[in-house]
Amino acid sequence: MGRLGQETAGAVDDASVVLHLHRLYAATRIEQAWALHLRRMSDYGFDRILYSNACLPAGVGVLEDTLLLSNHDRSFLDPFCRTGMWRGGIFIRRAEQQGRRSVSWRVTDETALTEDERRILAFRARHGVVAGYSMNFSGLGVHGRAGTGLCARHGLSQDDVDAIWERHGLLIEVMNIAFHLRVTTLPIDLPGRTLTRRQREVLRWASDGKTVQDIAQLMGLTAPTIEKHLRLARAALGVQTTTQAVLKASFLNQLLRVDSCEPIGDRSEAPAE
Structure confidence at residue 187 as a pLDDT band (50, 70, 90)? confident
| HSE-up of residue 148 (Cα within 13 Å, Cβ side) | 28
Q: Which amino acid, one-letter code, is at 133? A: Y
Give the model's pLDDT for residue 11.
58
Query: What tens digit of pLDDT does each residue of 2-58 get?
Result: 555 555 545 567 788 999 999 999 999 899 999 999 999 999 999 999 998 876 655
Q: What is the CA radius of gyration of the chain?
A: 22
Pick the residue with more confidence: 216 or 7?
Answer: 216
Give the model's pLDDT for residue 265.
44
Give the model's pLDDT for residue 61.
46
| HSE-up of residue 114 (Cα within 13 Å, Cβ side) | 7
| Phi, psi of 103, deg, nearest 5 | -150, 145
Give the model's pLDDT for residue 244.
86
SS3 102: strand
8 Å CB contact between 262 and 221: no
Per CATH, the number for 193-273 is 1.10.10.10
Return the beta strands (E) in the chain as ranges: 46-54, 66-70, 102-104, 132-136, 146-152
Query: What tens digit of pLDDT does each residue of 56-102 get?
Result: 655 444 667 778 899 999 999 999 888 888 776 778 777 777 778 89
Residue 267 has pLDDT above 80, yes or no: no
Summarize the confidence of residues 192-210 as an average pLDDT: 88
Give the model's pLDDT for residue 12.
62
Structure confidence at residue 258 as a pLDDT band (50, 70, 90)? low
| pTM for the whole structure | 0.75
Give the model's pLDDT for residue 260.
41
Cα gap 125→268, rounded to integer Å: 48
Cα gap 255→257, rounded to integer Å: 6
Sign of CA dihedral 207, 211, 215, 218: negative
Residue 212 has pLDDT above 50, yes or no: yes
Query: What tens digit of pLDDT does each residue of 132-171 get?
Result: 999 988 777 655 678 899 999 999 999 999 999 999 999 9
Q: Taking the domains of the chain in order of start, what are their residue ranges?
A: 3-183, 193-273
Summarize the confidence of residues 223-249 as an average pLDDT: 89
Summarize the confidence of residues 93-117 as an average pLDDT: 84
CATH topology of domain 3-183: Beta-Lactamase (3.30.450)
Beta strands 146-152 and 102-104 are: unpaired
